[in-house]
Amino acid sequence: MHSGHVHNENCSHGHGHGQQHSQFANPFFPSSKCTRQTCARIISPIALFLILFAGYSVSIYIFDINLQSSNIPNDGIFYLVIWFLLIICFLRGSLASPGIVEKNWYHKHPDFYERVRNQFLQHQEMMKQQQAMMMRMQTHNNAANNQNPNNVDNSNNQNDTTINMESKQNDENERFLEIPEHVLRPPRSHYCHELEANILRMDHFCVWFNNAVGLHNYKYFILTLFYLFLFCISTDIVIVYRSFINPYPSMHVAIEEMTTFQQIWRIFCLVVVVLLSIIFTIFSSMHLYFHFWQLSKGLTSIEYHQWSQMRAMGYHLGVPFHNTHEFDFGHWNNCERMLGKDWYFWFIPTSPWLVEDGYKYEVNNESRQAVMEYSQKIHKKRQEIWQKQGLSTKNYHNDMNA
């Protein structure tokens, strides 16, 4: 269920919003630009086929259920319910929209837009200063080596270019500032290359779903893992118990009426189902544990990897780690924010009643303060190490001035 989390978001501004929605219109058949997307087009139908094959084989060859069956045993009813719930969760997770960021969404959140706009302007200014410093260094070196007799003209051209850039920037500030899409996006959202869109509270792109897992289908992803685990466990128990310990009398009669080929085919199907169930029991249990832990912490998979990198850095520098983040409100509240406020429907594949709309999230100020203090300690520790090695920013600027 889980694939890679890392997304190269620098390419996000190269796609229009019109393409995003048309691209997502049919998630089972997207374009085959990415290798992972090509694999997903193959894996997703195979996964659905295996679920149908396993449930059908057990229903026919263990419980002897067919269209004429009028008396289904209790364990057969339980098995069919788990099977149907798994199919529904899988289809809803595959076909439902994960939550695509709307075009011009920031018009509804001007405070967020202003904050991102200021950060973007600061970043642009910093890049301009770095470029100007590199140009001055190059001009100084050329003049010292007498390799460029036209230094004065180049300097004048550079000043003219800088003035033109600043004039253009001022004109741009007077009207609406064009901020790249990969920069101007809601908190916790990320760009998905397979869907060519920014996804609200994106968790990851799932090759089994052939779909991104985001704000609106995260519940179906968790339920698919949960019911896949129950289905595999039930399949193994039912096949072993009803084949060797307490088989149904009606199944004895049905086996006696089968031809030799049908009996061999029955055994083959059940053996394949048992092997698949064992494999996917291990697979689903590992992923279920991992995602249940993330769910209790209120973390997406992308955020978990960022969180783990910060924790590893703190461990490497000897800084005590604060086991929290700014969206952490405790186990129960985290589950409500991730799965929906309607906890009584958590185990049913219904549309979740979400606390946030995906564009604005409540922040735990205490946790945020703890994270900021932790980041400051890491930065301070890193500066101390750089100073000992003579690599601090202060020493670098002193060398440049000299």
In this predicted structure, what is the pLDDT of residue 43? 95
In this predicted structure, what is the pLDDT of residue 113? 78
Residue 329 or 316, more confident:
329
- On whether the CB atoms of residues 108 and 101 are closer than 8 A, the answer is no
In this predicted structure, what is the pLDDT of residue 23? 41
305 SS3 class: helix
And the tokens for 66?
């067919």
Are β-strands 211-213 and 204-206 bridged in parallel, bridged antiparallel, or unpaired? antiparallel
Q: 310: pLDDT confidence band, cut at 50, 70 and 90?
A: confident
Rounded distance between C-alpha atoms, residue 42 and residue 220, angstroms = 21
pTM summary value:
0.76
pLDDT 10s digits, 168-221 = 445 444 444 567 666 778 899 999 989 989 999 999 999 999 999 999 999 999
And the tokens for 82?
């788990």
Q: Which residues, 6+ apart, have CB-to-CB distance to 131 below 8 Å?
A: none
In this predicted structure, what is the pLDDT of residue 8? 44
Out of 125-129, 236-240, 306-310, 333-337, which region has the weakest mean confidence (pLDDT)?
A: 125-129
Above 60 in pLDDT, residue 143?
A: yes
Q: How many CB atoms lie within 10 A of CB 377?
A: 16
Residue 257 or 213, more confident:
213
